[in-house]
A and B are shown apart, each in its own frame.
Chain A
Amino acid sequence: NAGVTQTPKFQVLKTGQSMTLQCAQDMNHNSMYWYRQDPGMGLRLIYYSASEGTTDKGEVPNGYNVSRLNKREFSLRLESAAPSQTSVYFCASRGGRGTETQYFGPGTRLLVL
């Protein structure tokens, strides 16, 4: 039982390059989330998926797209990376509305040059 896994752990991109961050959970959770964490800003929600087949914008969705591939997997795509997207990205999952805990993955550290 791995919980929430994320790949890659680290990535360096050049401005304009694209990449996909992968997230998977093995807890049979309905809801999954993508956050970014910047110094002094806390965690900000990019996109979330309340259930398989649905996705919704969070607080800072511009420049990102997501895919809820199946119940286990939720990917985040940067189509044309910008230096402002340098951040630590966390994926999280939760059992569903009214279920308390969000379980976070280990994070992906992204540097855009």
Chain B
Amino acid sequence: GQQVMQIPQYQHVQEGEDFTTYCNSSTTLSNIQWYKQRPGGHPVFLIQLVKSGEVKKQKRLTFQFGEAKKNSSLHITATQTTDVGTYFCAGDSTGNQFYFGTGTSLTVIP
């Protein structure tokens, strides 16, 4: 079945350093979504990417969708303590069923 792998599993950074998480799918995706989950909370939608090679920015966050629509990345520039949480990608190839990556837990050290 479809698999979505995400690396790294954990990342500790000093405040102000950059952070990147990578997502790879075993199948071609129609779109990919990114979510953030704070400790003890629920996933919150960040963005959806649809087009091959698409790049979207939200302030310090940059999201990319690979040319083959099988991989994606989230890059955070100059991390802040408010960025702490687990970041998940979720890939969709069927139109209604999302496969979540295992998540990257980000710790920001002040």
Contact = CB atoms under 8 A, between A and B. Distances in A.
Interface of A: 31, 33, 35, 40-45, 48, 50, 56, 58-59, 90, 92, 97, 100-107
B42 A106 contact: yes
Chain B interface residue number, banded: 20 to 34
Nearest to B42: A104
Contacts of A101: 45, 48
B100 A44 contact: yes
A40 B101 CA distance: 10
Interface in B70-110: 88, 90, 95-103
19 contacts: A40-B9, A40-B102, A41-B102, A42-B4, A42-B6, A42-B101, A42-B102, A43-B43, A45-B98, A45-B99, A59-B1, A59-B99, A90-B42, A90-B43, A101-B45, A103-B45, A105-B42, A106-B42, A107-B42
B98 to A, nearest CB: 7
B21 interface: no
Nearest to B6: A42
A105 B44 CA distance: 10
